[in-house]
Amino acid sequence: MPTRNIAIGGVQQEITHPSALRAALAEFISTLIFVFAGSGSGIAFNKLTDNGATTPSGLVSAALAHAFGLFVAVAVGANISGGHVNPAVTFGVFIGGNITLLRGILYWIAQLLGSVAACFLLSFATGGEPIPAFGLSAGVGSLNAFVFEIVMTFGLVYTVYATAVDPKNGSLGTIAPIAIGFIVGANILAGGAFSGASMNPAVAFGPAVVSWTWTNHWVYWAGPLVGGGLAGIIYDFVFINENEHEQLPTTDY
């Protein structure tokens, strides 16, 4: 089982070591880039269309902005931190035994701070334009949205495992940022009109802090974490040969 590979990690190696701090900084910057582009596109579309972001064209523009933004954010962070840009991805990778608990917590802090910083920068740069917080569409219950977030995040983290984590991915790993960006864009087209298609607790957290809107916020944590954890367990246990499983090189940090 992948739980055999779960490790807590040492404080000196995972919290205070320069390489760990560089990785956290990379996650902070990558998340800031992603959230600034994604949330910024929503603000821009609202401004240009007089609050028409809920139209089909608004959904398409959101999907494209998030797909392109995530592609860049993952690509620029991949060689430093792995380019998680998402607490659900970090959690799924941890559950599969591919990152230690302490390193994962460090990533979470950096990702959440990056999202909050991006939203505050957007608020300042746009002259106080409201930052759109994630919320459920009319007629959509919290349980429906919870299932949507589980399924969409499962697809995202499964894609991360197949293209970036699996040691057998070979040359497929070079297109990992594209594949990850594409699945997020496709999921926004599928679920954006229902739950908002967060798939990322950090993406929902920043706008919630700046706008101080917490209605049904639990959905954007519980759904992605459950979906990411399931993807990590299933992919690692079923598709990664444990004899070939590459352990986290903690001695190299």
- Number of structural domains the chain divides into: 1
pLDDT bin (cut points 50, 70, 90) of residue 168 is confident
73 occurs within a structural domain: yes
64 occurs within a structural domain: yes
- At 45 the pLDDT is 82
pLDDT above 70: percentage of residues in the chain: 89
- At 54 the pLDDT is 64
- At 170 the pLDDT is 75
Domain range enclosing 166:
2-245
34 occurs within a structural domain: yes
pLDDT at 109 over 80: yes
For the stretch 173-202, pLDDT in tens is 789 999 999 999 999 999 988 999 999 999
CATH number of the domain residue 81 falls in: 1.20.1080.10
250 occurs within a structural domain: no
253 occurs within a structural domain: no
CA atoms within a 13 Å half-sphere pointing along the CA-CB vector of 253:
24
- At 253 the pLDDT is 32
In the predicted model, what is the mean pLDDT of residues 109-133?
95
252 occurs within a structural domain: no
For the stretch 37-84, pLDDT in tens is 999 998 988 887 766 556 788 889 899 999 999 999 999 999 999 999
- At 177 the pLDDT is 95
In the predicted model, what is the mean pLDDT of residues 208-234?
96
Pick from 240, 61, 60: nearest CA to 160: 240
Question: Out of 41-45, 51-55, 213-217, 247-251, which region has the weakest mean confidence (pLDDT)?
Answer: 247-251
251 occurs within a structural domain: no
- At 246 the pLDDT is 46
pLDDT at 247 over 80: no
195 occurs within a structural domain: yes
Rounded mean pLDDT of the chain?
89
CB environment 1-18: b (16+ within 10 A), e (fewer):
ebeebebebeeebbeebe
What span, in angstroms and rounded, lies between the C-alpha atoms of 222 and 76? 28
Q: What is the DSSP string of the chain?
A: -GGGG-----HIIIIISHHHHHHHHHHHHHHHHHHHHHHHHHHHHHHHHTS-TTSHHHHHHHHHHHHHHHHHHHHHHTTTT----SHHHHHHHHHTTSS-HHHHHHHHHHHHHHHHHHHHHHHHHTTSPPPPPP-PPTT--HHHHHHHHHHHHHHHHHHHIIIII-TT-GGGGGGHHHHHHHHHHHHHHHHTTTT-----HHHHHHHHHHHT--TTTTHHHHHHHHHHHHHHHHHHHHHS-GGG-----GGG-
Question: Taking a C-beta distance cutoff of 8 angstroms, is the pair 221, 108 a contact?
Answer: no
Q: What is the DSSP string of 228-249?
A: HHHHHHHHHHHHS-GGG-----
What span, in angstroms and rounded, lies between the C-alpha atoms of 123 and 168? 43
- At 223 the pLDDT is 97
Count of all residues that appear for the chain in the document = 253
What span, in angstroms and rounded, lies between the C-alpha atoms of 161 and 92? 9
- At 113 the pLDDT is 98
User: Bigger pLDDT: 36 or 250?
Assistant: 36
- At 55 the pLDDT is 76
Q: What burial class does residue 107 get, using C-beta atoms within 10 Å of its C-beta: 0-12 exposed, 13-18 middle, 19+ buried?
A: buried
